[in-house]
Structure 1
Amino acid sequence: MVSPPSSARDAAMTRTNIARAAAVVLGLVAGTGPALAHPHVWVRTRAEIVLDGGRLAALRQSWTFDPDYSAFAVINLDSKRDGVPDPDRLAAMARERIEAMAETAFFTAVKLNGRPVAFGPASEPRAEYRDGRLTLHFTLTPQAPTAAVRALVLGNDDPDFYVSFAMAPGPEAVRLAGAPACVLKVSRPAKDAQEGEQLIPDEVATSRPGAASATAADYAGRVLVACP
């Protein structure tokens, strides 16, 4: 049997590691039920892009999860069995999940003037559980000072499509702070993955490495900030 080229093996290992990390980060463990197709989790995102002196200072994100995942995430956090997660347990869960997401670069890709931005550890982790939905809040800051923003592109996606990311509806899904002269443009995809909608059979996602990434791209929106 002929081994694939090292670059192909490395790419396959990277995809596998990302998929495993996504499962660990989001608490998708064996025994939670059959996984028939991708995606498995649906997230609605909100973001605030904070500029200071023309440079990227912070990216504040809020992710609201679908009801099924939300119920699973808080199932052991309610000691009183009154349907309300204990505040201390909810806070601990938020810290653990946000810390674990560093393995996946927080499912967040930012390009500044054409170059990717690396973020340090997330800060200000916080969780809310309201109306049957879990929302995680956290803040990302660049590892190093950035250049002045001319063009910034933000996107949230999972290349293995375990998680479907979509911007929350309405004009307040993305906000820009500290940059009155800059222009914010939100590009929403033509397609919108609905909660519970199964788009790729597991066997296809496993046997065709590019299938999940290509499909995820069809459903991912992008945010553009342009500054003079």
Structure 2
Amino acid sequence: MLFRHCFLLLALLLFTGSIQAHPHVWIDLRVSPQVNEQGQITGLRQAWRFDPFYSLVLIEELEKGGPEDELDQRLDQLALEVVQNLENFDFFTQVTVAGKRQGFEPVTEYNLMQVGRRIEFSFVLPLQNPVTLQDERLQYQVYDPSYYIEILHAAGNELDTQQLPASCEVDVQEPSPPGDLVEKAMALDKDEKPEDPQLGEHFAETVNLDCRP
């Protein structure tokens, strides 16, 4: 594994046996572009809903961590740790405009909550430079480079277009990794580092947003 995800440690400590094959955690992703009064995209609001098994393990650990009436405080503290960890990796997000990778401002709006029996982490990732929709096509990917976590848009929720002009077109390119790469990923143990430091990119969706006239 390229690095330790601090917000996964509780779960990993509870795993037993020899668990084979990447990925080991699954996230249902929802993305909503944030648009200002000038019609520019200023950031991406993301919601990551963790798979039921991982959520269950984490919920049980959080519930064991102290009194029930302090659960919200423990969730808030964990959310802060998640943000501090992921900011070093651009929150697993790549945004390109006209072929140039975009930078991000610090995340200040975030939340970690329990939705039913699943855990959801949500945040707004601000762009350093707002993107004028009528001038440039925007492309983004969200993926864990190590492919320890698989991050895919929730079915039917590829991109929230409510704030976007009706003329905008969204194209979601599904990943199509070669068979030999799939076999290599399937052969990786949970603690094994992949040879390709960008393995997850081959399994990532690519979303193109085009609002040009």
TM-score tier after normalising by the smaller chain length = 0.7 to 0.9
Alignment partner, residue 163 of structure 1: 149
Letter in 1 for 2:9: G
Alignment TM-score, normalising by the size of structure 2: 0.78
CA-to-aligned-CA distance 1:131-167 (integer Å, 9 cap, x gap) = 3211111001013x23523110111111211111111
Does residue 213 of structure 2 align to residue 224 of structure 1?
A: no
Letter in 1 for 2:27: V
Alignment partner, residue 20 of structure 1: 3
Structure 1 stretch displaced more, 45-54 or 66-75: 66-75
CA 1:123/1:207 → structure 2, altered by over 3 Å: closer, same or farther? closer
After TM superposition, which residue ranges in structure 1, 4 or more long, deviate above 6 angstroms?
A: none
Alignment TM-score, normalising by the size of structure 1: 0.73
Does residue 185 of structure 2 align to residue 202 of structure 1?
A: no
What is the distance in 1 between the residues matched to 2:123 and 2:138?
Answer: 20
Q: How does 1:24-63 map to 2 (within 5 A)?
A: 24-27=6-9, 31-33=13-15, 34-52=18-36, 53-63=38-48
Alignment partner, residue 148 of structure 1: 132
Does residue 64 of structure 2 align to residue 86 of structure 1?
A: no
Structure 1 stretch displaced more, 56-65 or 95-104: 95-104
Letter in 1 for 2:23: P
2:81 to 79, 96, 102: 96
What is the distance in 2 between the residues matched to 1:40 and 1:85?
Answer: 29
Question: Shift of the alpha carbon at 1:30?
Answer: 6.2
Task: Tell me the percent identity.
Answer: 25
Question: Shift of the alpha carbon at 1:104?
Answer: 1.7
What is the distance in 2 between the residues matched to 1:63 and 1:89?
Answer: 18
Question: Shift of the alpha carbon at 1:94?
Answer: 1.6
- Paired residue secondary structure (1:76): helix
Question: Shift of the alpha carbon at 1:169?
Answer: 0.4
Does residue 73 of structure 2 align to residue 73 of structure 1?
A: no
Alignment partner, residue 121 of structure 1: 106
Question: Shift of the alpha carbon at 1:32?
Answer: 2.9
Structure 1 stretch displaced more, 126-135 or 41-50: 126-135
For this pair of structures, how many residues does the alignment match? 198
Contact 2:95 2:102 in 1 (8 A): yes
Unaligned runs of 5+ in 2: 178-183
Unaligned runs of 5+ in 1: 1-15, 192-197
What is the distance in 2 between the residues matched to 1:115 and 1:109?
Answer: 10
- Paired residue secondary structure (1:91): helix
What is the distance in 1 between the residues matched to 2:70 and 2:203?
Answer: 32
